[in-house]
């Protein structure tokens, strides 16, 4: 039975500052029937005109107090889907499931394979891949805050369906399995060993690899979801990939510290970008130009770097 969680109204992740997407559609359409929906989510979708068969798919998960259309547009994902040629899946939470519109990344019933919200998102992916003739080996998922926590959950529970993921200001899989644990996970964060974190992913599905790649963007001045969660995500996903937590390459992305962790073949499996001085939100870079995208809005922060574009580039969609 789905549970209403009014306690989240003022505290859990993005607070109550909803984006005023209003009647904007920007070519986004609702898919009223997409298959099994045990999580009772809405499915919205943006498919560019003339999209070729064999194109990629990106799933983008909004944060609390946001909606699918507002997040898809303001993060830059809609314009990139049109510009680069991929299908965009935009799941949306319903108020009956969560008072503040948060994906329930902290509830075991919604983060267990075959159950709840992760199963609904997996159904959306299957519907879009089948309906557009997309390449099932080029499916990616990303999300902000609660959407970032759900991104980690989807990757853990359905790793065979995704080539990679991008967590923005989010949390490791199964940092919490009930509401009472969520606040501590957010800040100061939960400190486990890499193996303990990795075991939580390995226990989430019968999958034995290969595993999706993981990229983590986080502001180092984030006091809502502590940047310590970036470190714990690195520990979780490097352990899953069988590598260590020492970066193999370091540098910058858009002027911000960037670290890359590689497997024994030298392939990048985990990456981080730490946005210095940034609080809680999604990096955007409004304007024209190849690497620029997004719009400023609540928790859409102009830091001269559009995370959506850099993720698309990491996933070879550019």
The mean per-residue pLDDT over the stretch 159-185 comes to 97
Residue 145 annotated to the active site: yes
**Token pair 């019968």 in the structure block, residue:** 206
How far out from the chain centre does Cα 187 lie?
A: 19
CA distance 101 to 67: 8
What is the pTM for the complete model shown? 0.93
CA distance 17 to 66: 8
Parallel, antiparallel, or unpaired for β 57-61 and 87-92? parallel
Q: How far is CA 186 from CA 65, 200, 227, 280, 296, in A?
A: 17, 18, 9, 11, 24
Give me the count of residues in the chain: 318
Q: Which of 108, 145, 177, 268 is catalytic?
A: 145
**Angle between helix 194-202 and helix 228-241 axes, rounded to 10 deg:** 60
Task: Quickly state the pLDDT bin for 69 (edges 50, 70, 90).
Answer: very high
Instruction: Compute the C-alpha angle 140/179/216, nearest 5°.
Output: 30
- The pLDDT, as a whole number, for residue 26 is 77
- Mind listing the pLDDT tens digit for each residue in 114-170? 999 999 999 999 999 999 999 999 999 999 999 999 999 999 999 999 999 999 999
């Amino acid at each position: 039975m789905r549970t209403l969680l009014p306690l989240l109204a003022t505290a859990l992740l993005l607070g109550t500052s909803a984006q005023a997407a209003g009647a904007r559609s920007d070519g986004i359409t609702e898919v009223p029937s997409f298959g099994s929906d045990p999580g009772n989510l809405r499915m919205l979708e943006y498919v560019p005109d003339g999209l070729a068969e064999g194109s990629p798919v990106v799933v983008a998960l909004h944060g609390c107090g946001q909606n699918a259309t507002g997040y898809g547009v303001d993060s830059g994902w809609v314009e990139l889907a049109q510009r680069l040629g991929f299908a965009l899946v935009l799941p949306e939470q319903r108020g009956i499931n969560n008072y503040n519109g948060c994906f329930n990344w902290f509830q075991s019933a919604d983060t267990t394979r075959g159950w709840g919200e992760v199963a609904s998102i997996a159904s959306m992916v299957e519907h879009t891949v089948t309906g557009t003739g997309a390449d099932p080996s080029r499916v990616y998922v990303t999300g902000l805050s609660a959407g970032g926590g759900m991104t980690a959950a989807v990757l853990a529970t359905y790793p065979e369906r995704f080539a990679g993921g991008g967590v923005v200001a989010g949390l490791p899989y199964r940092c919490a399995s009930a509401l009472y644990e969520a606040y501590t996970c957010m800040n100061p964060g939960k400190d486990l060993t890499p193996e303990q974190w990795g075991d939580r992913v390995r226990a989430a599905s019968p999958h034995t690899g290969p595993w999706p790649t993981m990229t983590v963007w986080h502001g180092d001045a984030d006091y809502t979801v502590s940047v310590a969660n970036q470190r714990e995500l690195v520990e979780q996903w490097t352990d899953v990939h069988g590598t260590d937590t020492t970066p193999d390459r370091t540098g910058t992305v858009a002027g911000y510290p960037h670290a890359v962790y590689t497997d024994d073949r030298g392939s990048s499996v985990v990456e981080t970008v730490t946005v210095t001085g940034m609080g809680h939100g999604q990096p955007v870079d409004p304007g024209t130009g190849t690497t620029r995208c997004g719009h400023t809005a609540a928790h859409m922060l102009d830091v001269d770097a559009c995370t959506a574009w850099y993720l698309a580039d990491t996933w070879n969609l550019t």
